[in-house]
């Protein structure tokens, strides 16, 4: 819960990524009293398990249909098990219905596979270079670049699995209005470097509108909801059992 801004995109080339990183370094140096800088470089090689969607256990009904698609070649009842793709031993259980995330390169690749009657498989062999800023009260404003594709892709390890989220995000809730404005300002600085495909601003879309009144209203509503939930939790669990997290937040 709390106001978050999501962003997805791709840099034009490696030179632009270097330009972006240089800007972040300079910004951190000149604002050392209010931000922290982080950097990381990591190699990823192996099977990839990105968040693209999942198979439906039953035929979706009602509102679920809006988030589901039917792929005839993945319907186990429509074909014999011996004709099933070899890369998924349990595919004969599939009913052809899949929940697909609305956007993202992983979703597009998954759809292409499912249309062929093949369960999606992903591999990755790349270097990810990352840099991030931590504003007070905000999660990391991070930029993870896949150096093979120049895309912003947040790879992470879950046990021994390589997982991925197809977009970056920064929660600004506890950074307040001023923190949100700073985060949006940095993202706008990079519009000439990153071809953003998505920027979703939960603060009444302040990023695109610049409407300060709507921004303040969004934070007011969100803060009130969090306060209400906290008060309810205290009433049920007792104040000593309800902790307020300490910010700033560093997800890296």
Per-residue model confidence as pLDDT tens digits over 157-183: 988 899 988 789 999 998 999 999 999
Identify the burial level of 223 via C-beta atoms within 10 angstroms of its C-beta, where 0-12 means exposed, 13-18 middle and 19 or more buried.
middle
> Among 110, 111, 147, which Cα is nearest to 129's?
147
pTM of structure: 0.79
Q: How far, in whole angstroms, is CA 220 from its chain's centroid?
A: 25
Question: What is residue 223's predicted lDDT score, i.e. its pLDDT?
Answer: 79
Q: Are residues 132 and 109 in the same domain?
A: no
List the domain range (segments joined by +) for residue 86.
53-115
Q: Are residues 136 and 217 in the same domain?
A: yes
**Residues of the chain by 3-state class (helix, strand, coil), percent to 5:** 35, 35, 30
Q: Are residues 104 and 148 in the same domain?
A: no
Question: What is residue 134's predicted lDDT score, i.e. its pLDDT?
Answer: 93
For residues 54-75, average pLDDT: 84
Distance CA 114, CA 105 (A): 14
Q: Are residues 225 and 133 in the same domain?
A: yes
For residues 217-235, average pLDDT: 78
| pLDDT tens for each residue of 109-135 | 899 999 998 889 999 999 999 999 999
Distance CA 167, CA 165 (A): 6
Q: Are residues 111 and 139 in the same domain?
A: no
Q: Are residues 72 and 133 in the same domain?
A: no
What is residue 113's DSSP assignment? Answer: H
Q: Are residues 147 and 107 in the same domain?
A: no
194: how many CB neighbours lie within 10 A of its CB? 24
Give the SS3 label for residue 180.
helix
Distance CA 135, CA 87 (A): 45
| pLDDT tens for each residue of 22-46 | 999 999 999 999 899 999 999 999 9
Domain membership flag for residue 248: no
Non-local (6+) Cβ contacts of 177 within 8 A are 215, 216, 219
Q: Are residues 111 and 150 in the same domain?
A: no
> Is pLDDT larger for residue 93 or for residue 180?
180
Question: What is residue 81's predicted lDDT score, i.e. its pLDDT?
Answer: 47
Domain membership flag for residue 241: no
> Mean pLDDT lowest for which of 40-44, 178-182, 213-217, 244-248?
244-248
Q: How many domains does the chain have?
A: 2
Distance CA 102, CA 3 (A): 20
């Amino acid at each position: 819960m709390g106001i978050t801004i999501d962003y997805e995109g791709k840099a034009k080339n490696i030179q632009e990524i270097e330009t972006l990183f240089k800007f972040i370094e300079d910004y951190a140096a000149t604002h050392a009293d209010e931000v922290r800088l982080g950097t990381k470089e990591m190699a990823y090689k192996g099977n990839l398990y990105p968040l693209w969607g999942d198979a439906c256990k039953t035929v979706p009904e009602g509102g679920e249909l809006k988030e589901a698609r039917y792929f005839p070649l993945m319907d186990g009842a429509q074909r014999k098990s011996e004709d099933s793709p070899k890369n998924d031993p349990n595919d004969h259980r599939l009913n052809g219905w899949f929940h697909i995330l609305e956007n993202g390169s992983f979703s597009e690749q998954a759809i292409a596979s499912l249309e062929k009657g093949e369960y999606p498989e992903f591999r990755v062999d790349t270097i990810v270079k990352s840099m991030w800023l931590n504003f007070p009260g905000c999660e990391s404003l991070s930029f993870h670049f896949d150096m093979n594709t120049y895309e912003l892709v947040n790879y992470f390890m879950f046990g021994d699995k390589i997982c991925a989220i197809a977009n970056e995000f920064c929660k600004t809730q506890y950074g307040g209005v001023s923190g949100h404005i700073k985060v949006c300002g940095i993202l706008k600085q990079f519009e000439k470097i990153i071809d953003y495909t998505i920027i979703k601003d939960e603060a009444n879309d302040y990023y695109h509108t610049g409407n300060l009144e709507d921004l303040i209203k969004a934070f007011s509503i969100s803060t009130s909801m969090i306060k209400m939930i906290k008060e309810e939790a205290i009433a049920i669990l007792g104040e000593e059992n309800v902790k307020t997290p300490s910010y700033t937040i560093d997800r890296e």
